[in-house]
A and B are shown apart, each in its own frame.
Chain A
């Protein structure tokens, strides 16, 4: 319904000899640059009438479903509009902080960022669909479940190499082959780690139990089903019987 952005933009190809090409889809390029007023640099600032404004109200961020119905080129243009908007907001925020002024509506930055994240999600969805159809794989960076050198399960994100594994003598990841390293030190670490985890679980359990006891003390007429739903691991009967759960009134149970 209401969203942030879109000014008239149209695409243009711009090439360079540098290593990485930013394929930008942005406003028209001026081939001859004129002197004095540099409007392109003024794009880093808000429009002049907003400079002294104390509140600049805007709509919400783009939602995923709204972006899904847009074509790739629309998304591409939208990305650059948002990118420029974000740069503008950063510049204005910086200047406001510098001059000890209040930056109006700082949530605009979050709205732009959210829209950008959503665009990226949609683009990724489309690419995954293409690769799944064409190759049967997602085309995402492959992730493998491995046991790391400390004997703990880990998600290992693979990286891209131009040499195959057997030729690449400089690449060393022994734990991928050996898995759990069977040394005394690792065994000790593993035991201590399990102990720590166990203690954490125990503390969480006790914390919940104590909390429920206090709740029973304060709210004796509480809805027990809702309590059970919120703290499923707590033994309510045991909590009711305990001394801590007794309030300054005649016990009901």
Chain B
């Protein structure tokens, strides 16, 4: 049977177990400021609070105190060309409370990248400048090859 088929439960049956869970969860930056022991996730729409707790506990070994969930309605947009209305998918958000002594701060992933882009921009302006210089220098001698100079 498909690993996705969920058998019915009757009293006295063996405990239902999921061997290959297909749920996804992603850690997202909290909207607004948040206490240090609270983490925000987006997850599969089918997940319940129990599932979320189990998932984090069993797969990631994260101790979970409390889970609250929220479903954000997807945005409605008007299609630019034809004018019909398109709705984005709803998003299930899980707000997970960790034990008091645990702290989590969402890391700044592109911190280093900022410096790099600045450097790249600098190099680009330098290159532009030198190219402009080169053009100005050779303006009045279009028949002379570029390597020919003092």
Task: Tell me the A residues contacting B by CB distance below 8 Å.
Answer: 14, 16, 18-24, 26-30, 33, 35-36, 38, 40-45, 51-52, 76, 79-80, 83-84, 86-87, 90-92, 94-95, 98-99, 101, 116, 119-120, 123-124, 127, 139-141, 160-162
Indicate if the CB atoms of A160 and B8 lie closer than 8 Å: yes
Closest to A90 in B: B26
Contacts of A28 on B, CB cut-off 8 Å?
Answer: 61
A98 to B68, CA, bound (A): 23
CB contacts between A and B, total, < 8 Å: 137
Given contacts A14-B58, A52-B110, contact A86 B42 (CB under 8 A): no
A19: chain B residues at CB < 8 Å are 9, 16, 50
Partner of B57, one of A16, A35, A51, A76: A16
Asked if B145 is at the interface of the complex by the 8 Å CB criterion, the answer is: no
Let me know if A24 and B59 touch, CB within 8 A: yes
Tell me whether B28 and A94 are in contact (CB under 8 A).
yes
Please state if B110 and A99 are interface contacts (CB–CB under 8 Å).
Answer: yes
Most chain A beta carbons < 10 A, residue from B9, B62, B101: B62
Min CB distance B63 to A, Å, is: 5
Is B3 part of the contact surface with A, judged by Cβ < 8 Å? yes
Q: Could you tell me the distance between the alpha carbons of A21 and B10 in the complex, rounded to whole angstroms?
A: 16
B118 to chain A, nearest CB (A): 13
Q: Does B18 contact A (CB under 8 A)?
A: yes
Q: Which residues of A sit under 8 angstroms from B98, Cβ to Cβ?
A: 38
25 A-B pairs with CB atoms under 8 Å apart are A16-B57, A22-B21, A22-B54, A23-B17, A23-B19, A24-B21, A26-B59, A26-B61, A28-B61, A36-B103, A38-B98, A38-B102, A38-B103, A41-B60, A42-B107, A45-B27, A79-B20, A83-B21, A86-B24, A87-B24, A90-B26, A91-B28, A94-B26, A120-B4, A161-B8
B54 touches A80 (CB 8 A): no
Query: Once the chains bind, are A33 and B63 in contact (CB under 8 Å)?
Result: yes
Chain A residues with CB under 8 Å of B22's CB are: 116
Q: Taking each of B53, B54, B59, B62, which has the highest tally of chain A beta carbons within 10 Å of its own beta carbon?
A: B59
CB–CB B110/A160 < 8 A: no
- Residue ID in chain A nearest B16 by CB atoms: A20
B15→A141 contact, CB < 8 A:
no
Which residue of A is nearest B50, CB measured? A18
Contact A95-B24, Cβ < 8 Å, known A21-B54, A124-B3: no
Contacting residues, chain A, for B102 (C-beta < 8 A)? 33, 35, 38
Q: Give bound CA distance, A153 to B42, whole Å.
A: 40
Q: Are A40's CB and B62's CB within 8 A?
A: yes
Report the minimum CB–CB distance from B54 to chain A (whole Å): 5
Interchain CA distance A44-B57 in the complex, whole Å: 14
B113 within 8 A of A: yes
C-alpha spacing A162/B55, complex, angstroms: 29
Known: A24-B58, A36-B103, A45-B109. A18 touches B63 (CB 8 A): no
Q: How far in angstroms is the closest Cβ of chain B from A96?
A: 8
Residues of B104-126 whose CB lies within 8 A of A: 104, 107, 109-110, 112-113, 116
Q: Once the chains are docked, how many angstroms separate the CA of A90 from the CA of B98?
A: 22
CA distance A158 to B26 in the complex (A): 34
Residue of A22, A41, A51, A120 near B104 (CB, 8 A) is A41
B39 contacts the other chain (CB 8 A): yes
